[in-house]
Amino acid sequence: MKNLPLVSFILLSASFLGNPVLSQHQQESGLISSNESSIDQLVQRGKMLFDSDIGCWVCHAQSGEGLVGPTLLFGPSPSEIYFQLQSNALMDVIRTEMDPSDEDLVAMSMYIRTLANLPLDDAIDIANGWRQDLAAVKGSEANEQVFPRSARDDQIEAIETFESFANNWERRSKVGSVLTQYDSRVVATFEPGEQKFFPENDRTYFYENVGTNSSPSILYDGYVSPKSNQLVVGDAESLEVIASYEFPEALRATVHTSAMSPDGKYAYFTGPREPGIDGTPDPSGAQTMVKVDALTLQPISQITIGARLHHGQVFRGKMLFDMFHRDPGGPAVIIYDHETDEVVGAIKDIDMGGMVYTVWPDNDHKYIYALMEPTGYAPGRSSGMVGLVSLYQGELVAMRNFWVAKIDADTWEVVLEFPVPGYRPNWAVIDSKNEFVYVVSGNSQACKHDANTGEVAWCNGTGIGPYGASLNADETELWVADKGEGAHHLGRTITVMDTESGHATETLYGTYKVDHVLLSPNGKEMWSTSNGEGKLTVYDVDTKETIEIIDMPQNGDAHGMIWVYYNESGESLVVRDQGNFHGGINPQKGISLNY
């Protein structure tokens, strides 16, 4: 309870003990007159209810001017509030947790009148009129109807709540270490060519992997996509593209990430299958990754990794990659040494008890969180996406549960599994203290979980088909990219959510199929990538205004992002990628790059 004056505390105590009238001692002491006491008591009671943890302020602001809910400054009557409680599903938490009495509704309405600066001169008559109206409304309500139930209804009721299966969770992964090996090979090398990018010392640059899959329908008439992938580099301060290079067509593949070695010297792309005798991709060969020089912007080698590269990030001085479609016996996750071009560790789906979609280390690189999918909706790695699409298209009414596996990066044992309320989780954000994990799911919701127990703090809706997400510098906001993933929808918004309550506070417009969203190393900007239009959008974190839209060469589709800092000696260092901040830089811990 907030601090209140002594008189108010006495009044509140009286009201909540069921005594609407002040004691004789209180009246004789001259604290307040009888009529005034009744109204002041209502106002104070209403204020406490309005400002409580689950009170009206959460949606309507403490001023009553409105947040995610509408303004209340017109002065709703108790009957109007009661109608919302009965018919508005968003008010359900008020109805079930607060369970306001008729007198509570009168008190809240009276307090809202003070917020709206409406007159209280005839407040006694107003309150009595409200009570009569509320009694009439309730008296006119029909008795609750009883409808027939089927055996199927009873089955659904037994399993329909998240709590029903969370309380009966059974471990999926094997006991013991899930780390295994994969023998990678360098199957091709290339001349790096001439240097195209000449970085300046003490300056920060952004790198972007660009593909060939932008959507022509949302670009200009006559648009022709690039013939191959490109590595793009730009100035993080001036927000300008400096240089790019288009790869040979034989190395073209679908781009799904931007990833660089910790020293910022090499970038990594999804590659085609390993070359056959004639130098073209062998349909039966192993799947590969292409390593690219960060200064010449050209490929230098092609390495087998047993699957198609999905996401990548710096991890413990090496690289952590998760995969799409696996070769027979191929890994779902690998640890890759950028200096030796070797896979030094791997994780396979069979040991995890399901299909790994993507992985995220915490800020200390002590644990790895794997977002897991149930099998059976489609062959192999496509299981989760096919299931989600079927759900959106009405072919499924429910799906088997998805979950998160927490892996100890020292022992490589799964130390915790917890189910998520949503379907097909595809992004995770761990806060700077490693206390909470924010999980974004394809069925248009985000959930905040306790990182140590998996307990759900809140879940709430986002824009359609969300994908990437990022916390702002003070971690009060979660920015979610509303891509339209799984819904076949050209999403183009970003939902900003309050991390304490889970409520959406703003919707920002961006570019089509907005995919990843990342806080920049200066802590002042939020950058997003577009798969549909091939653009980067830069927002001011505080004002939510668009600072710049950066076109990628030939509008090639952009995925992920990396910032590289070149120090005063010209040495390069990755300071931000899609997984975390690095190199001692972290605006969420008060350490930003100034540029």
pLDDT at 242 (0 to 100): 97
> In the chain, pLDDT over 70 holds for what percent of residues?
94
Cβ distance 490 to 473 under 8 Å? no
**CB count in 10 Å sphere of residue 117:** 9
The label of the residue with tokens 């979660």 reads 478
528-542 pLDDT, tens digit each: 999 999 999 999 999
Q: How far apart are CA 403 and CA 101, in angstroms?
A: 40
pLDDT at 2 (0 to 100): 37
111-141 pLDDT, tens digit each: 999 999 999 888 999 999 999 999 999 888 8
Residue spans of the chain under pLDDT 50: 1-34
Tokens of 60: 């309507």
The label of the residue with tokens 């409680």 reads 85
Q: How far apart are CA 321 and CA 462, in angstroms?
A: 27
Question: Three-state DSSP class for 429?
Answer: strand
Q: What is the dihedral angle through the alpha carbons of 264, 265, 270, 275, rounded to the nearest 10 degrees?
A: -170
Task: Report the half-sphere exposure of 358 (CA within 13 A, side-chain side).
Answer: 22
DSSP secondary structure string for all residues of 23-66: -HHHHHTTS--HHHHHHHHHHHHHHHHHTSTTSTHHHH-TTSS-
Q: How far apart are CA 271 and CA 229, in angstroms?
A: 10
pLDDT at 285 (0 to 100): 93
For residue 552, give the DSSP letter.
P
Strands 425-430 and 436-441: antiparallel
Cβ distance 244 to 270 under 8 Å? no
pLDDT at 37 (0 to 100): 63
pLDDT at 86 (0 to 100): 87
Task: Report the half-sphere exposure of 504 (CA within 13 A, side-chain side).
Answer: 18
183 phi and psi angles, rounded to 5 deg? -90, 100
Which CA distances in Å does 461 have to 150, 182, 464? 30, 40, 9
Tokens of 514: 């907005």
Tokens of 571: 């040495």
Amino acid letter at 94?
Answer: I
Q: How far apart are CA 428 and CA 365, in angstroms?
A: 14
Task: Report the half-sphere exposure of 92 (CA within 13 A, side-chain side).
Answer: 2
For 453, residues 6+ apart whose C-beta sits below 8 A from its C-beta are 416, 418
Strand order in the sheet with 355-361: 355-361, 367-373, 403-408, 414-419
Each domain of the chain, given as residue ranges in start order, spans 6-139, 182-347+556-586
**Nearest residue to 330 via CA among 319, 318, 346, 342:** 346
pLDDT at 35 (0 to 100): 57
154-168 pLDDT, tens digit each: 988 888 889 988 988
Cβ distance 127 to 110 under 8 Å? yes
